[in-house]
Structure 1
Amino acid sequence: MILVTGGTGLVGSHLLYHLTQENDAVRAVFRTEKSIDLVKNVFSYYTKDVDASFSKIDWVKADITDVPSMIPVFEGIHEVYHCAAFISFDPKDYREMRKVNIHGTAIMVNLAIDAGVKKLCYVSSIAAIGDDEKKAIATEENEWNGDENNHGYAITKYGGEMEVWRASQEGVDVVVVNPGVILGSGFWNSGSGKLFTQVYEGLSFYAEGVTGFVGVEDVVKAMLILMKSDVKNERFILVSENKSFKEVLFAIANAFKRPRPSKKVKKWQSGLFWRWEWLVSKLSAKKPRMSKHSAKSLHSKTNYSSEKVQKAISFQFEEVETTIKKVCDHFPD
């Protein structure tokens, strides 16, 4: 049986659909019943007979940070897709991110070792790829730079990877994927889904920072191929194209046939905004809409190479513009 954590998230929900099509016995962890409805919505993008696919999943209510609830989850499991993560750029969430992304992964690794799991796929992030100013393009070989400029999410995802490598030393074959900004349908109020919602509703601002983007279906496809292959104990960047936020926002606007964002955000403007949001969050319980690190990312320019995965499994990525058009077609009017 195959276990999927984070099955109610963007990557996990799309992964679950594809796993059910292969008629594998699949078990997925969930925390609230409400979150399962989002998974059904994702399934509806692929098929009209949602219940037929959805009924193949053995849903278990559990928490990856709670050992007693997770022990029975591993009964009969031979493969694991660990997609669960806490994503935030708010410094206030750092302790919770450590709990989920590092401690939770450590629990997953320990239970996988005890259960004799054959192979584990860990969904990390390009945030865990080290910066190297000497290289024009970031690769899997970049050394991690643990300085204070790294934000909490990057630190905890890298920490999660360290736990996964421990599994590889204890007899569990592992593969780690480091996706860029994942574009996909179904989660319109979180992650990259907010970009589509904001543009649809009339976003005015854009920035020219550059990073790697990839479609969720490509992420899932690469994970499935890597797990079935003989590849083990390797990490792979998953990026279709390196693009500026301006290019991506403009492509979304074009697909929606909405006005493009017209006002460029300058560094001093984002600098003032994140400081104001920090002050407001200190004086209230309100979460900041922008942090120091998210403001920085609007202007930083980092290019990533997916050459390693392309060579390892002859993988071809879908163009970002094609992905954007597909996602926009699923957007609820």
Structure 2
Amino acid sequence: MILVTGATGLVGSHLLVKLLQENEAVKAIYRNKKSLEAVQRVFVYHDALPLFEKIIWVKADITDIPSLNNTFENVTEVYHCAAHISFDPKDENLLRKINEEGTANIVNCCIDFGVRKICHVSSIAALGDLKENETVITEETEWNTEFPHSDYAITKYGAEMEVWRGYQEGLEVVIVNPGIIFGYGFPDKGSSLIIKNIKKGFPFYSKGLVAIVAVADVVDCMTALMKSTINGERYTLVSENISQEELFYTLADLLKVKRPYVYANKTLTAIGWRLDWFLSFILGKKRMFTKTMAKSSHNTHQYDNSKIKQALGYDFKTINEIFTFISKEDYCR
């Protein structure tokens, strides 16, 4: 029996389709029934709606240990996709609770219930920091505690430490570190907000590099790694390193709208994050553009995907293949 956490999110929902198409027995965690509607849409997208009924849904919360006890009965493998994504400094405690403590709970349950193997979905944000004159980040790049990181990056790195603890205690583990994941099903969340903003005529772009990947590639690599004998390894999942300018132009062309036309240089982004802070302070709204985000919009480092290519012989989708779902998604609301 396979357990999927974060099953009602982008990666989790597409993973469910993949597992059920392969005739796997699957348990999936959910917190409220409303969230299952988006999962159903993903199954419809894949022309696999009848398979949706085969999922064993369990209402639980990874931060609530008692709710996990029944969840892990008869489970032999776990895909840990659950996480909280936010770059608002006000969400630090929530990020630590879900990403670090929640992962620790999952790892502890895996050990207590004799789970054979876990695949943990991390992020490129948890990879290391480049030294002077370096330009490419790999799985071996060291994390520098003196380097400024977002709370999200820190908690995803902390979550990985919990998984490695499980590995030291005998649990088989693989970790994947995806870039920005794009895919069908959640037009009002995550990476799809980028597409939605472009649709609305977002005018700004920068020339920093962006690491992107299709949700289908993430799911394919995860399942292949879990079926393999690979243990105790992490893999960067990135299809392409492209400029934000190229990404935004590509999306605008696919959506048949005007391309962003204002180059956001370092001065403009510095003004932007300060204005965002001020409006957040005055109006009590969540941060949308932080200092860390402003800095990352000008990064020129690249992420190397050669390790996963060598391990699986995998070929990632091109940028045009990644966004084929756009024509079937609703970004006009």
**Residue 327 of structure 1: CA displacement?**
2.4
**Residue 265 of structure 1: CA displacement?**
1.1
Is the 8 Å Cα contact of residues 249 and 260 (structure 1) preserved in structure 2?
yes
Is the 8 Å Cα contact of residues 135 and 300 (structure 2) preserved in structure 1?
no
Q: Partner of 1:33 in structure 2?
A: 33
Q: Is 1:60 matched up with 2:54?
A: no
SS of aligned partner of 1:73:
coil
Q: Partner of 1:299 in structure 2?
A: 298
Amino acid of the residue matched to residue 129 of structure 1?
L
The two structures, once aligned, show a CA RMSD in angstroms of 1.2
**Residue 211 of structure 1: CA displacement?**
2.6
Paired with 1:138 and 1:227, the residues of 2 have a C-alpha distance of: 24
Q: Which runs of 5+ in 2 are unaligned?
A: none
Paired with 1:330 and 1:64, the residues of 2 have a C-alpha distance of: 32
Q: Partner of 2:253 in structure 1?
A: 254
Paired with 2:146 and 2:57, the residues of 1 have a C-alpha distance of: 40
How do residues 7-156 of structure 1 correspond to structure 2 at under 5 angstroms? 7-47=7-47, 49-50=48-49, 52-133=50-131, 134-147=133-146, 149-156=148-155
Amino acid of the residue matched to residue 101 of structure 1?
N
Amino acid of the residue matched to residue 106 of structure 1?
A
SS of aligned partner of 1:44:
helix
**Residue 20 of structure 1: CA displacement?**
1.0
**Residue 9 of structure 1: CA displacement?**
0.7
- Deviation string, structure 1 residues 138-173 (Cα, Å, up to 9, x no partner): 100000112251110100000000000111111110
Q: TM-score, normalised by structure 2?
A: 0.96
**Residue 184 of structure 1: CA displacement?**
1.1
Q: Is 1:164 matched up with 2:171?
A: no
SS of aligned partner of 1:243:
strand
- Deviation string, structure 1 residues 273-319 (Cα, Å, up to 9, x no partner): 21122122223321122111111121112201010010011111111
Is the 8 Å Cα contact of residues 146 and 155 (structure 1) preserved in structure 2?
no
Q: Partner of 1:268 in structure 2?
A: 267
- Deviation string, structure 1 residues 176-195 (Cα, Å, up to 9, x no partner): 00001111111112211011
Is the 8 Å Cα contact of residues 211 and 302 (structure 1) preserved in structure 2?
no
**Residue 329 of structure 1: CA displacement?**
1.8
How do residues 189-268 of structure 1 correspond to structure 2 at under 5 angstroms? 189-268=188-267
Is 269-278 or 18-27 further displaced after alignment? 269-278
Amino acid of the residue matched to residue 124 of structure 2?
I
Paired with 2:83 and 2:145, the residues of 1 have a C-alpha distance of: 20
Q: Which runs of 5+ in 1 are unaligned?
A: none
Q: Partner of 1:283 in structure 2?
A: 282
**Residue 201 of structure 1: CA displacement?**
2.0
